[in-house]
Amino acid sequence: MGLLLWPAGEPPPGSIAQLPPPLRRLHAGLRSLPPVADVAAQPLVLGPWCWAAPLWGNLYFCSPNFPTGIDHDFIDFSAAGVTSLGQLLHLEQAVAAAPGGAAYALVWTTMLGRYAAFASRFYAVERLAALLAALPPAWVHAARAAAAELADGLLQPPALADALAVLLPRLGWAHPALPAPLLLSSLTVRHGTSLLTSPTATRRAAQYFTPFGLLADAAAPAPAAVVQAVLARLWRVRWENCHKEPFWRLVCDAVPTASRLHMDQPCQCGGAPADRRHHFWTCPVARGVVDSIAGELTARQLLPSPLAAAHIWLAAAPAGVHGGVWDVVSLAAVAAMDHGRRRMYAMSLAPPPLPPLVPVCLRSARARFWTLLTDFVALRCAPASWQAHLPPGHPFIYFDAAAATFKVALPAAAAPPL
The pLDDT assigned to 175 comes to 78
Q: What are the backbone dihedrals phi and psi of residue 297, each rounded to the nearest 5 degrees, phi first?
A: -70, -35
* Distance, CA of 331 to CA of 240 (rounded, Å): 11
The pLDDT assigned to 34 comes to 83
Rounded (to 5) percent helix, strand, coil in the chain: 55, 5, 40
Which residue type, as a one-letter code, is found at position 57?
G
Question: Strand, coil or helix: what is 235?
Answer: helix
Q: What residues are paired with 398 via a beta bridge? A: 407
Burial 369-381 (b: 16+ CB within 10 A, else e): bbbbbbebbeeee
Q: Is 90 exposed, middle or buried (0-12, 13-18, 19+ CB in 10 A)?
A: middle
Q: Is 205 exposed, middle or buried (0-12, 13-18, 19+ CB in 10 A)?
A: middle
Q: What residues are paired with 173 via a beta bridge? A: 182
The pLDDT assigned to 370 comes to 96
* Distance, CA of 285 to CA of 260 (rounded, Å): 19
The number of CA neighbours under 13 Å toward the Cβ of 379 is 11
Residue 248: how many CB atoms within 10 A of its CB? 16
* Distance, CA of 373 to CA of 268 (rounded, Å): 27
List the one residue out of 372, 337, 333, 327 whose CA is nearest residue 237. 327
The pLDDT assigned to 417 comes to 47
The pLDDT assigned to 418 comes to 44
In order of 82, 94, 95, 107, the CA distances from 103 in angstroms are 19, 9, 9, 7
State the DSSP code for 282: I
Question: Strand, coil or helix: what is 405?
Answer: strand
What is the H or E stretch that residue 399 is in?
strand 397-400
* Distance, CA of 406 to CA of 317 (rounded, Å): 19
Name residues whose C-beta falls within 8 Å of residue 222's C-beta, 6 or more positions apart in sequence: 213, 216, 310, 314
How do residues 3-52 score in pLDDT, each as one tens digit?
666 666 665 555 545 678 888 787 778 778 888 889 998 999 999 999 99
Given a cut of 70, the residues of the chain with pLDDT beneath it are: 1-18, 412-418
* Distance, CA of 172 to CA of 178 (rounded, Å): 13
* Distance, CA of 38 to CA of 22 (rounded, Å): 27
Question: Strand, coil or helix: what is 263?
Answer: coil
List the one residue out of 331, 359, 327 whose CA is nearest residue 343. 359
* Distance, CA of 277 to CA of 182 (rounded, Å): 40
State the DSSP code for 182: E
The domain locations on the chain are 2-187, 199-408
Q: What residues are paired with 84 via a beta bridge? A: 54
